Structure formats: C-alpha cells, structure tokens
Amino acid sequence: MKRLDSFRHQGLRRRLVDELMEKGITDKIVLEAIGKVPRHLFMDSSFVKFAYRDAAFPIGSGQTISQPYTVAFQSQLLKVNAGCKVLEVGTGSGYQAAVLAEMGVELYSIERQSSLYKKCKTLLSDIGYPKIRLFLGDGYAGLPGFEPFDAILVTAGALSVPRQLLLQLRVGGALVVPVGRNVQEMTRVVRLSDDEFEQQCFGSFQFVPMLPGIV
Ligand code: SAH
C-alpha cells in the first residue's frame, strides 16, 4: 500500500488528524486509523488534490466519499475493539471500510451499486486491504447467514431505523445509522436483549439516501 503513499501525503494526514482532534474526535484508535489510510487513493481523479481536506467529494455514480469528520464520528460511535465483527452498509469509495480495517475489526461491507462494488473490490485488494469482505447487495436486508455482528454502520441516510439490521446485532451490539430525509440525525441503537433496544441521537449530518435494491 505504502508504495503509492509519500511523506507529503503522510504530513497532510497528520494535519487532518489534528483538525479532527480540534473538532472533538477523541478516540485514539480512530485517529490512528485515519492517520494511516491513504485517502488520496480513494478519490476521483478530479479531486485528488483535495484528499486531505475535511470535506465530502463526488466519487461517480451519484455518490460521495464521506467527510473524514463524519467517518471518524461514526467509527467512534461504534465503540468497537480489534477483533470485533462489523458490518458496513454502503461501501462507496471504500474509505470508511479501510479506516475500520485499520482499527483491526473483521469487516463485512455491502454496496448496492455494482459499478462501485467492482471498483472497490479491485482497489481495496490492490492497496493492501484484501481481508475486507465485500458484497453486492441491498443493505436493508443486512447479511443473513453472517450474523450476529458486534456493530453495524450505515453510511447512507435511512428514512427510519432498518429493522432487519437490528435483528442481526448480537445482544450488547450497536447499530449506527443516520436517520432522516434531507438532513439526518445520527442515531445509535443498542440491542439490550433479544427484543429490547435503546436509541440515542448525536446531532445532524447530511448523507446520500439509502435506497432499496441492486443496480
Ligand atoms: N462509506 C462510503 C460512503 C459512500 S456514500 C465511503 O467511505 O466512501 C453511501 C453509499 O451507500 C453509496 O455508495 C450508495 O450506493 C450506498 N447505498 C445506498 N443505499 C444502499 C443499500 N440499501 N445497500 C447498500 N448500499 C447502499
């Protein structure tokens, strides 16, 4: 992976990590992971020079690579340790997936757009993340047969908390999902028992919509 990285990129990443700390990200494991992932390799070529700005950018197919602050905020809310089994819904560019992989989790990620899924499959194995398990599918259904997960992260805006995903959490696990139409409320739902859940909100964010089906 580091073959395509440089001291200049590493320096820009250190500045990005400092910026995220100033904005309130405290989890050391998350900050270290952001400091390691070469975000410039996940960008559309027109935007590569902005790779270490704390902003979202288009990645083609009408989608975006999430803002580093949002990636860090969601990763922090998952409260996972190395070895935890995590499901991401919305692989997109693969950047958030790489950050989670650097945190040491066993990662499963689903994308509904076949063009993005294919692009990401090649990229992630080429740049040193061959262990991330990628799936083409509708994230509303989760990944039946691979549950339970210690945590599930949705990186697209859902109109309500997807019920199927709650049922694929182990007891004690958490689902982090942005909920809302134009603006989303970052929502964390913890599974307290087989049929009890506790929900908490963590402020407003903006995501592309979570859509049904595969295209
Ligand atoms: N995590 C990504 C963010 C990508 S934007 C990154 O780091 O770049 C959100 C992604 O969710 C888009 O690629 C979109 O196609 C995908 N998506 C939307 N609805 C989905 C669904 N039901 N199942 C799987 N992926 C979905």
Q: What's the rounded Cα separation, in Å, for the pair 36 and 128?
A: 12
Active-site annotation holds for 66: yes
Structural domains in the chain, sorted by start: 2-205 (3.40.50.150)
Instruction: Please give the structure tokens belonging to residue 132.
Output: 């991330």
User: What residues are paired with 200 via a beta bridge?
Assistant: 188
Cα 13 from Cα 19, distance rounded (Å):
10
Cβ–Cβ < 8 Å for 88, 153: yes
Ligand 1: atom nearest CA of 90 is 11
pLDDT tens, residue by residue, 105-149: 999 999 999 999 999 999 999 999 999 999 999 999 999 999 999
pLDDT for residue 60: 87
Could you say which of 6, 66, 93, 160 is catalytic?
66
* Angle ∠(191,197,199) on CA atoms, nearest 5: 105
Q: State the virtual CA torsion across 52, 58, 64, 69 in degrees, nearest 10.
A: 20
Q: What is the DSSP letter of 68?
A: H
- Could you tell me how many helices (H) and strands (E) the chain has, helices first? 6, 9
CA of 87 to the centre of ligand 1 (A): 12
Q: 């692009």: which residue's tokens?
A: 119
pLDDT tens-digit map of 26-43: 999 999 999 999 999 999
Which residues have CB under 6 Å of ligand 1? 63-66, 89-90, 92-93, 95-96, 110-113, 116, 138-140, 155-156, 208, 210-212
Q: What residue's CA is closest to ligand 1, atom 19?
A: 210
- In sequence order, which ranges of the chain are alpha helices (DSSP H)? 7-22, 28-36, 68-78, 95-102, 114-126, 163-166
> What is each CA distance from 37 to 93, 104, 112, 162, in whole angstroms?
13, 13, 24, 29
Q: What is the pLDDT at residue 4? A: 83
pLDDT-derived band at 3 (thresholds 50, 70, 90) equals low
Could you tell me the pTM of the whole model? 0.96
CA distance 76 to 100: 10
Beta-strand relationship, 169-179 and 184-191: antiparallel
Residue with token string 């020079």: 49
What average pLDDT does this structure show over 145-154? 98
